Amino acid sequence: MISTPRRSAARRPTLSQLRAFAAVAEHLHFRDAAAAIGMSQPALSGAVAALEDVLGVRLLERTTRKVLLSPAGERLARRTQRVLDCFAELLDEAEAARAPFTGVLRLGVIPTCAPYLLPTVLRLVHERYPELDLQVHEEQTASLLNGLTGGRLDVLLLAGPLATAGVTEIPLFDEDFVLVAPDGHPCAGRDDLPRTALRELDLLLLDEGHCLRDQTLDICREAGRPPGGSLATSAAGLSTLVQLVAGGMGVTLLPRTALRVETARGEHLATVDFAAPAPRRRIVLAMRTGAARGGEFSALADALREALSALPVTPVAD
């Protein structure tokens, strides 16, 4: 079998040689080409000759009056320009990567945060980071964490603590849970409901996979509710859950940031505050530990904490 010898790494074309050839191919004049790229004419001529030697083909036909591209030069001139264009694009991308809050940012958000926090988040990004291309993905916690650790997502807005290897959490705020009940419910209108009341209530939950379901079950366990005692899984989303409450099917827990939006959609609802300290959840910004944009994400967390403080939450210092 006959094999074609490979050029050694020391005999590869250089960018300087490619630029010189591209300039000559464009201007078909050594003096004009040298002036266009800021190179002396002898250096330009030497670079093109060196490129011909490296490639093993004749690129130019030189006469006393003009310069012409050889057939091989015609073909390689187009490819040379594409190489130089790609190199310029690489430099542009690197420049964009060095500039914070530019390019694409893929943000994952859990469903029990997205409708209530995103208006503030999107307004912040639009006003403060106009060069940032924010892409939002609403998914449940397990899917978001898989996307983050697998590189599909860059940063997450979700409830913590996560305790996931390779993931760093930056706390943003705490928010209370509020009991939502039908009008006329014995608990309606109270602002000092003890957690122990959760032992006996007909509690409606979100489906499996929602972190809010798990948080509600944790609160019930802390209140002393027997495991598995009359807990009904009835809804895939908070909006449906609230409508079931309005229909008298039971009560549910909502994070306070969701209260205004969700209770405005249904009549015959009453809200009930817990006695202090109320059960609450913590919302965090999560990123891969050691992420290249870690400093940028930390700055984003600071900005989010400030912007979201306008909501009924308690900001948490990192």
pLDDT digits (tens, 9 = 90+) for 254-280: 999 999 998 887 778 989 999 999 999
pLDDT for position 112: 93
User: Distance between CA atoms of 47 and 26, rounded to whole angstroms?
Assistant: 16
Domains identified in the chain and CATH numbers? 9-98 (1.10.10.10), 101-318 (3.40.190.290)
pLDDT band at 190 (very low <50, low <70, confident <90, very high): confident
**Whole-structure pTM value:** 0.72
pLDDT beyond 50 at 5: no
Q: Which residue has better confidence, 265 or 311? A: 311
pLDDT beyond 60 at 164: yes
pLDDT beyond 70 at 96: no
User: Distance between CA atoms of 281 and 302, rounded to whole angstroms?
Assistant: 19
Mean pLDDT for all residues in the chain: 88
pLDDT beyond 90 at 202: no
Pairing assessment for the beta strands 155-160 and 132-138 based on DSSP bridges: unpaired
pLDDT for position 174: 96
pLDDT digits (tens, 9 = 90+) for 13-71: 999 999 999 999 989 989 899 998 889 999 999 999 999 999 999 999 887 678 899 99
Give 105's strand partners: 134
**Tokens 């940063």 — which residue?**
155
Burial of residue 235 (CB within 10 Å: 0-12, 13-18, 19+) is buried
Which range among 4-8, 286-290, 298-302 shows the weakest confidence by mean pLDDT? 4-8
